[in-house]
Structure formats: structure tokens, C-alpha cells
Amino acid sequence: MSERQPPWFLVTGLVIGLALGLVYAWVLSPVETIDTFPHSLRADFLDDQRVLIAQAFVATGDLGRAQARLALLQDPDPARTLAMLAQRLLAQGEDADDARALGLLSSALESGVVGPGLVPALSATLPPNTPSPEALATDTPTPEANDVTETPDGSPTERATRTITPTPSRTPTATVGAPFQLQDLALVCDPALSPAVVQVVVVDQTGNAVPGVEVLVTWEGGRDRFFTGLKPEFGLGYGDFAMADGVTYTVQLAEGGDPVPGLSTGGGCPPTDDGTTLLSSWLLNFRQP
């Protein structure tokens, strides 16, 4: 009498089959990552992409196109993401122009418009000897610099399939008029502001907030800078800088104007009811005359 053996050969067959499948999938025909989408990019490449989108936006002022490009990255809150990236770049000492571009785009996304002073004049004038590439060896007229540019308002995919509706690009204008001037300087004694900060608010002639304004901060043995518009939740023309206790700062807009010296945390805030001395923050309002 022989005992009935379990069907080990079937289990063996399954294991061999799985092994064959894995060898095929991992060795013979491994996955090739091609035709990927921008949102799958590695984090550092995603940041590069955001910077690039911002730079292109600053160069063209085309907010619609920038929005379409950002949509491909699938950020839940693109404006906030850009603002945070800008602050991170500044903190890391990266190119301030990149941070500024990110701030400008973030602000534009928040406000929905490319406001005055947001971006430099569109100097996208092609050089006079602009070549026709080999692939484009056709006699196409060069658009005039002041033409309203017809640009696709959609994703690259949409462009590729020609299902786009061209929309005119917005042509931004440069900041015009006199440099911003200090309108008022106020001592701020707010226990919620810890550490104490230098707050700067910049508005134009008509009272509209102006993001992207570079603010220089100097003190004995050091200097730094920040930009308005990187904290859109406080207003597009707002920027701030954390002060260290015992240091006296001088603040000046990078584009000119008189420096504002003597800003320190010991500005004279009265003690609170429990005797605590508040650190002094400062609010500087700049306006274009």
C-alpha cells in the first residue's frame, strides 16, 4: 500500500513559471522608461522644470502658457509650491533671479494677471539674423516685435495634436515711472511676530501691490536680500526678513531709493502687562510717486 504523494510537481511548475516570468520581465525585457510625463520627474528635475517655467514666463509674460505647463506637474497648489521653492532657493543661496522669477509667477497665479512691473518688457525680439533651421527652411516672415503674438494656450500634447485655440499673448510692460520711495516707516509691536521681522510692502502709483521687487538688507558684517511677492498669502507686494536680536539693519530697495537705516529689534516697544519686553518689528511701505 503506497501513500498518495502531494502534487509537488505542480508547485514546482508554478515556481518555475513565476521564475521564468520574472526573468523575462527583469532581465530579458526589462521596463524601459520612455514617453513619461513631467509629473513623474524626480523631485530635483521637477524643481528645475518649475524654475524653467518661471523663467519662460518672465521672458514672455504668457501666463496662460505657464499655467498649462504647471498643470502638467500636477501640483495641488502651484502658486504656493512656486513660492516655497523660491524661498528655498534664496535660503540655499541659489540664483536670486530664479527665485525672483518663481515669485513673479507665483504672484501672477495668485492674482490671475500679469500686473505692471511684474515682468520686464518683452524683449523677445529675435535677432536680425535669426536663421531658419534646416527643418524649417521656408520663407516665413519674421514677426514684428510689437505684434500680438498668437500662442497656443494648452499643453504640449494639445499643441501636438493641433487641438488648441490660439490666444493672444499678453505683452507685459516694464515698471515705468520714478523709483519707489519710502512712504512711511512704522514700529510694529506684535507678540505674534517672533522672531521680529522687517516687513516691506511695495505698491505702484495706483496703489497696486508690486511683487518681485528686490530688497537689500545690510548690517555690520553681512548682507542679504529678499523679494516681495514670495508670500502671496500676505499680499503680492509683501516681503519680510527675520531680524536677529542685537543687530541693526539697513533696508533699501535694490532698484534705488534712499536706504532706511537703524532698524533693530530694540526699537522701543512698550512692555506687556506681564512685564515682557516685545521685540520690535518694522513695517516699511514703499510707493511709486
Question: Measured in Å, how far apart are the chain's first and last C-alpha atoms?
Answer: 109
Peptide bond into 195 cis (omega under 30): yes
Cβ–Cβ < 8 Å for 269, 187: yes
Q: Which residues contact 239 (CB under 8 A, 6 or more apart)?
A: 199, 200, 202, 213, 215, 226, 227, 228, 229, 230, 231
Handedness of CA 161, 162, 163, 166 (dihedral sign): positive
Among 28, 31, 91, 192, binds another protein (CB under 8 A): 31
Stretch that binds another protein, among 155-163, 187-195, 213-221, 224-232 (CB under 8 A): 155-163
For residue 43, what is its C-alpha cell?
A: 523631485
CB of 120 to another protein, least distance (A): 7
Cβ–Cβ < 8 Å for 247, 197: no
The SS3 call for residue 222 is strand
Of 1 and 31, nearer to another protein (C-beta) is 31
Among 117, 152, 172, 239, binds another protein (CB under 8 A): 152
Site string for another protein, 59-98 (x = CB under 8 A): xx--------x--x--------------------------
Cβ–Cβ < 8 Å for 197, 241: yes
Determine, following the binding rule CB under 8 A, whether residue 143 of this chain makes contact with another protein: yes
Site string for another protein, 2-21 (x = CB under 8 A): -----x-xxxxxxxxxxxxx
Determine, following the binding rule CB under 8 A, whether residue 140 of this chain makes contact with another protein: yes
Size of site (CB under 8 A) for another protein: 68
> Could you list the residues that contact another protein (CB under 8 A)?
7, 9-22, 25, 31, 33-38, 40-43, 45, 48-49, 52-53, 55-56, 58-60, 69, 72, 120, 123-124, 126-136, 140, 142-143, 149-152, 155-157, 159-162, 166
